[in-house]
Amino acid sequence: MTGSTLWDLVVWRAARTPDATALVQGAESPRDERRISFGELRERAERVAAGLSARGVRAGSRVVWQLPTRIETVLVSLALARLGAVQSPVLPLYREHEVGQVLRRTRAAFVVVPGVRRGVDHTAMARRLAAELPAPPTVVEAYDTLPDGDPTTLPAPPTDPDEPRWIYWTSGTTAAPRGVLHTDRSLRTAGGWLAAALRLGPDDVGSMAFPYAHVAGPDYTVMLLVHGIPAVLLEHFALPAALAPYRRHRVTLAGGSTAFYSLFLAAQRALPPGRRLLPSLRLLAGGGAPKPPALYHEVVAELGCQLTHGYALTEAPMVTMGDPHDSADLLATTDGRPPAGMEVRIAPESGEILLRGPVVCRGYLDEPAPFDADGFLRTGDLGHLTPTGHLVITGRLKDIIIRKGENISAREIEDLLYRHPDIADAAVVGLPDLERGELVCAVVEQPPGAEALTLDAVTARLLAQGLARHKLPERLEVLPALPRGTTLRKVLKQELRERFGGDGGGA
C-alpha cells in the first residue's frame, strides 16, 4: 500500500474485513448508539461522493467543512477524498470571524455545515458569510442526512498521493492561523507511524474525544484502517457522560492531550478507593501540549494504565511517540523517539527543533513556509535529543523568558509547579518590565478544596525543589480555569500575556 491514496486504503480495508466494525457513534444510552462496518464505510462514502458530485463537486474543488465528530463527518471527508477534492476542515466551535477568514483565504466553492447544532444556526451563518464573497460558495447541509447518489456515475478516483488536497489550520494562539497544505501521502504516513508506535493489537478499541476536524482526525482514521480495529466517536466529550460508552465498548485506547489525561485522572480520584474508572483501558496516548513528568506517574499509578506521549504539530502530524515498552523514566521525561524516515535536527545555536520527512507539510496556503536551506521545517519549538534518540521538548522560542539578560524556560518552572498539591495546572509567562526586561509570572489553576496560595509560599517550595533563585516567579495569578484552545485544550498563553501584561511599568 506504499504510495497509495487515502481512498486506496479504504478500499483495501473494506475488501479484507468488510463486516468488522469500523466506527461506533457513542452515546450515554445504548439505544442512541449507531455503528458502521468497514464495508459499509466504503459503500456509503461512495454514495455520498456521488451525491456531492451531482451538486458540482469535482476533483480539485475547494470544499470547506465545519462538522462535529460523527460517523457522517467521516463519510463526508472520505467522500471528498474519493472525488479528489481539496478539503479544508474547520473546528465546529469557530464562528463568523474564523469561518469567514477560511472561506476568503481558501476561495472555497462549497461549504458543508451541520445545520442548527447546539443552538447555533451554521447554515444561516455560512450563507451570510458566502453572500459577502465575490464568488459565493454553495452551502451544503450534512448531519443526519447526507448527499446521496449512484456510485456508478462517479469518475475514476484520484491516483496521485502527492497532490496537496488537504488544508488544515494552525490554532493561531500566537499569530493569525495558517493554512497548512497536506497530501494523502503525508497524512497516510503519519497515521501508519502512529499505528506502529502504539503497538496496537486485534482486540484494541480506540476512541475519538477530540474534534475530527483536527489534523489528528485522518491520523486516527488511517490507524483504524491499517489495523482493522474500531473506535468510539463522541460528538461532544465530557465526563462523566463519556464513561458509559467507553465502558460499554471496552475502550482500550484513549487520550488526546495532557488536558484529557488530567480529566480522566480527576474522574478517577472522585471514585471510591479500589474502583477503576475504565477497567478495559490499557493506554492513554496523545500530544499537542507539554506533559509534566509527575502527571505520567500519577496516571500509571491511579488509572492503572500506561501513558505514552508524543510530539506533533499541524505541519507534521506525527514526529515522535513514546513506546509502551519504554522505561518509566523515558516515558515520564521524554516525548518518544522518531520513527525511521523522520529526521529530527536540533539547531546548534538556538536549540530549535527542525524536521524533515514524508509527514511534513508541503507549505502554507498563499504564504512562504519556514523551511531552512536543507529543507528542514523550523518548528519554533525548543528541545534536545537524548543519547538514546528520544526527544525532550523544553519550550518554545516565544516561551523563553529573558530576565536581566538570562534565559529562563517556562516549561521547567511549570513542571515543578505541577507537583504542588494545591495546583491543578500552571502556565508561566514573561510579562514586560522596565527594570528586568521581562518578569516571571506564574498563572495557576487550583483543584476543588485547595488551600489559598501565596507567592511567598510558592517560591519557597520552588527553592526547596532546587530551582535557581533568578528563575523564581515574581508574580502569582490564580484563575478558576486557564484559557484553553478548542482542539487539544492547549493553554492559550497569549491571552495570559495580554490579560496580565499591563503597561510594562514594573512590579
Instruction: Kindly report the CATH number assigned to the domain that includes residue 142.
Output: 3.40.50.980
Residue 364 three-state SS = strand
pLDDT for residue 506: 40
Average pLDDT estimate for 302-318: 95
- The residue among 260 and 50 whose pLDDT is bigger is 50
Closest CA to 42 of 25, 19, 59, 24: 19
Query: pLDDT category, 2, cuts 50, 70, 90?
Result: very low
pTM of the full structure: 0.84
pLDDT for residue 502: 67
Residue 294 lies in a domain: no
Among positive and negative, which fits the CA dihedral 142, 146, 149, 152?
Answer: positive
Domain boundary (153, 185, 217) is at 185
- Percent of the chain scoring above 70 in pLDDT: 96
In the predicted structure, residue 311 carries a pLDDT above the cut 90: yes
Domain boundary (161, 185, 209) is at 185
Cα distances from 127 to residues 73, 100, 111, in angstroms, run 20, 11, 9
* DSSP run (H or E) holding 47: helix 38-54
Other beta carbons less than 10 A from residue 288's beta carbon: 26
Residue 99 lies in a domain: yes
In the predicted structure, residue 84 carries a pLDDT above the cut 90: yes
In the predicted structure, residue 504 carries a pLDDT above the cut 80: no
pLDDT for residue 369: 82
pLDDT digits (tens, 9 = 90+) for 393-406: 887 777 778 787 67
pLDDT for residue 486: 61
Other beta carbons less than 10 A from residue 306's beta carbon: 22
Residue 75 lies in a domain: yes
Residue 321 lies in a domain: no
> For 430, phi and psi rounded to 5 degrees?
-95, 135
Check whether the bond before 317 is cis (ω within 30° of 0): no
Residue 198 lies in a domain: no
Ranking 111-120, 125-134, 166-175, 432-441 by mean pLDDT, the lowest is 166-175
pLDDT digits (tens, 9 = 90+) for 96-109: 888 999 999 999 99
In the predicted structure, residue 461 carries a pLDDT above the cut 90: yes
- The residue among 487 and 131 whose pLDDT is bigger is 131
For the chain, give the mean pLDDT.
91
Q: What is the dihedral of CA 79, 82, 87, 92, to 10 degrees?
A: 20
- Domain span holding position 108: 6-185
Residue 38 lies in a domain: yes
Domain boundary (168, 185, 202) is at 185
pLDDT for residue 173: 44
When divided into structural domains, the chain yields a total of 2
pLDDT digits (tens, 9 = 90+) for 21-48: 999 999 999 999 999 999 999 999 999 9
Cα 325 → chain centroid: 24
In the predicted structure, residue 490 carries a pLDDT above the cut 90: no
Average pLDDT estimate for 344-365: 95
pLDDT for residue 155: 96
- The residue among 80 and 485 whose pLDDT is bigger is 80
Residue 446 lies in a domain: yes
Average pLDDT estimate for 438-450: 91
Residue 208 lies in a domain: no
Average pLDDT estimate for 207-219: 92
Residue 456 three-state SS = helix
Query: How are strands ordered across the β-sheet holding 21-25?
Result: 34-37, 21-25, 231-233, 206-208
**Could you tell me if residue 450 is left (phi over 0), alpha (psi between -120 and 50 degrees) or otherwise beta?**
beta
Q: What is the CATH number of the domain that holds 492?
A: 3.30.300.30
- The residue among 408 and 76 whose pLDDT is bigger is 76
The b/e string for 377-391 (b: 16+ C-beta within 10 A; e otherwise) is bbbebbbebeeeebb
